[in-house]
Structure 1
Amino acid sequence: MKKIILNIGILLGIIIGISSCKKDDYFVGGDLHNPKINMTTYDWMKSNKYGVFDTVLMLIDKAGVKDKINAPGITFFAPTDYDVYNYVQARSIAIQKVDPKKMWTVDSIIKYELNRFKDSIDIYIAKESLLNGSLTEKGKKYKNAKGGEFIISYEETRDPALGYNPNSTVIPRVVMFTHLFKPVADDVNVTSIVPPVGSRVLVQTSNAQTTTGVVHVLNNSHTLFFYR
């Protein structure tokens, strides 16, 4: 089984939506790309030259949920291999509080948690197309395929790490995915949401439009399934 490689040099670029760029484009590694991709969501992830989805796709294959992410007209908020790594690390820390010698690995997911993976992948799927052009600063609530709710927003950022320059009149914008653990009001200030109410994740690649749906790739700091 291919190991998850932790190499900061191969991370996908943070995705910054700048007002001078078309909302319909998408960014990868700081470069603007045509949003129309002539392959399925699964094949696009598989074609990533850095292999950052290899473990995710292996789990998708093992759990038999390829058709879920390739379903026509959906939006998939794709986790990366780094998000899986963050998950197994967090699980190992929890297990070692009981037995310091135990570890949780990707093999543990395959052996014990494929049913959970098959079910929980639905929290990353919306049964509609959510393109950057339809997103707002304040965000809007949507249903995921599991029946829960999330908020997706297109927010201005003044974080220098995300491209903000105080000497520029252009304010960068980023797509944020906010998973909700508890119900919130429709007019909630999305930037104020924190656990245990919800968890916010930066989208690092947004607005990719495959032949089967829309893909927004979650930041590598995310933990799979929002494990806490």
Structure 2
Amino acid sequence: MKAIYITLLAVLIGFSACKKAAYLTDDGLHTAEVSQNTYDYLASHPNHMFDTLLMVIDHFGLKDEVNNAKTFWVPSDYSIARYYQLKRGLVLEENENATYEFADFLEDINVDSVRAYLYTDGQHSLNTAKTDYTTMDNGTEINGFAYNKQLVPQGAWSYQDVYYLYYIKVRGEPDATAPDGSVRVDRNDLADTRVLCQTTGIKTASGTILNVLENRHTFIADFNPTADSGPFIEDLEDGGIRFTYSVKFKPASAYVGASVVASSAWIADAFGVEADEIPGLLGSSIVFYAIEPDGTLNGTSTANAPGHWFGANGNVVAWGADARLFSEYAATSFTFTIGQFPDRSAVGDTYTIKQAMVYTNRSNEQIRAEFVFNVTII
């Protein structure tokens, strides 16, 4: 086990050694059906994407449940490492001399949190997905999950109809879906947590459908109901729209925080376009900005573009001594990833950071969608 801990530690050091982690893109599978059972396939992955996941499975004795599952929404090792960093950071926040080994991490996990990724009620994949939600039952008390598919804007990388698959934790009332699978969050409701799948529809010899979740997913923690709330939606005087989110996360020794999925339908309504057009317009007729505390727009990305690092007062800064939070936007999924500079915030700290998309329509009118994140470190 010591060798395994050292290997995991090396992965985690790689996460923290750079400004922010680079995420591995799974380029491996081109055959929909494999000749191995589910466990053995995960163990033999050429890029070793699931070695740490298998340690979790082995710890709880879930090998047979994994092989007998009809669907497994698979978190990668990167997802598990993100959760380990979060848990370890919380321990060190209380006592900087404390130790937090992987064995401690395993003991802190609720086995039903792992089972929340396993389903025996059917084979769920992109082939069975609809643009409306399909609900599922994982047989645990940690339930309320669904999935759907969302049309990718044509021209992003294909002019054929291409859909992304999402694994969804429903929060409050289920978000309404448009014909293309994009979602609309009703005012005063909670946005559902939507996790993009990077690979879907792998069928193993034991009959399990594997859908591999994106590496930005944080194992278990993304389904925590305190990850974000809102938004409060209000109309701007010039016809634009403002979304205000209350975001809460723990201080940590890692670049972690929470994800917020913006409502593509509400943005589309404000801009007067179709939701699936918006990602393709970003960078041309739609420009992404940070909003400085004095209200001016800052179009220079200082984090992964489009995105910004912010200082304690909500002003745009570069990565470094003045940085407190970052917010980066993923255009195709309408997702803001909000995180922290490691070891720089404490319980009780509050921040307000703001970003915007400004659309110039064919009449040369500018319409703004503002995103305000009130962040509390808990």
Instruction: State if a TM-score over 0.5 links the two structures.
Output: yes
Query: 1:137–1:153: 8 Å Cα contact kept in structure 2?
Result: yes
Match of 2:37 among 35, 40, 43: 40
Q: 1:65 — aligned with what?
A: 62
Q: 1:108 — aligned with what?
A: 104
Q: 2:193 — aligned with what?
A: 199
Tell me, yes or no, if structure 1 residue 184 matches structure 2 residue 173.
Answer: yes
Deviations 1:116-162 (A, max 9, x none): 1x222111012111132211123322222324121211111239xxx
Percent identity between matched residues is: 22
Q: 2:77 — aligned with what?
A: 81
C-alpha distance 123-45 of structure 1, shift in aligned 2 (>3 A): same
**Match for 1:184: what amino acid?**
E
**1 or 2 for the larger relative contact order (CA 8 Å, sep ≥6)?**
1
Q: Give the CA deviation at 1:64.
A: 0.6
DSSP 3-state at the match of 2:42: helix
Q: 1:120 — aligned with what?
A: 113
Q: Aligned equivalents of 1:53 and 1:75: distance in 2?
A: 16
Match of 2:90 among 80, 88, 94: 94
Q: 2:148 — aligned with what?
A: 153
Query: 1:154–1:173: 8 Å Cα contact kept in structure 2?
Result: yes
C-alpha distance 53-138 of structure 1, shift in aligned 2 (>3 A): same
Q: 1:24 — aligned with what?
A: none
Q: Give the CA deviation at 1:9.
A: 8.3
**Match for 1:119: what amino acid?**
D
DSSP 3-state at the match of 1:70: helix
Q: Aligned equivalents of 1:51 and 1:76: distance in 2?
A: 17
Tell me, yes or no, if structure 1 residue 137 matches structure 2 residue 150.
Answer: no
Q: 1:17 — aligned with what?
A: none
DSSP 3-state at the match of 1:132: coil
Q: Aligned equivalents of 1:102 and 1:188: distance in 2?
A: 46
Q: 1:52 — aligned with what?
A: 49
Query: 1:10–1:50: 8 Å Cα contact kept in structure 2?
Result: no
C-alpha distance 145-87 of structure 1, shift in aligned 2 (>3 A): same
Q: 1:19 — aligned with what?
A: none
Q: Aligned equivalents of 1:53 and 1:123: distance in 2?
A: 17
Q: Aligned equivalents of 2:86 and 2:134: distance in 1?
A: 30
Q: 2:162 — aligned with what?
A: 172
Unaligned runs of 5+ residues in structure 2 are 16-20, 228-378
Tell me which stretches of 4 or more aligned residues in structure 1 moved more than 6 Å.
7-10
Q: Aligned equivalents of 2:203 and 2:38: distance in 1?
A: 8
When normalised by structure 2's length, the TM-score is 0.47
Q: Give the CA deviation at 1:57.
A: 0.3
Q: Aligned equivalents of 2:96 and 2:191: distance in 1?
A: 31
Query: 1:154–1:176: 8 Å Cα contact kept in structure 2?
Result: yes
Match of 2:24 among 1, 11, 14: 11
Q: Aligned equivalents of 1:99 and 1:106: distance in 2?
A: 17
Query: 1:92–1:102: 8 Å Cα contact kept in structure 2?
Result: no
Q: 1:22 — aligned with what?
A: none
When normalised by structure 1's length, the TM-score is 0.75
How many residues matched?
201
The structure with the largest helix share of the pair is: 1
Tell me, yes or no, if structure 1 residue 214 matches structure 2 residue 209.
Answer: yes
Q: Aligned equivalents of 1:126 and 1:146: distance in 2?
A: 10
**Match for 1:177: what amino acid?**
Y
Alpha-carbon RMSD: 2.9
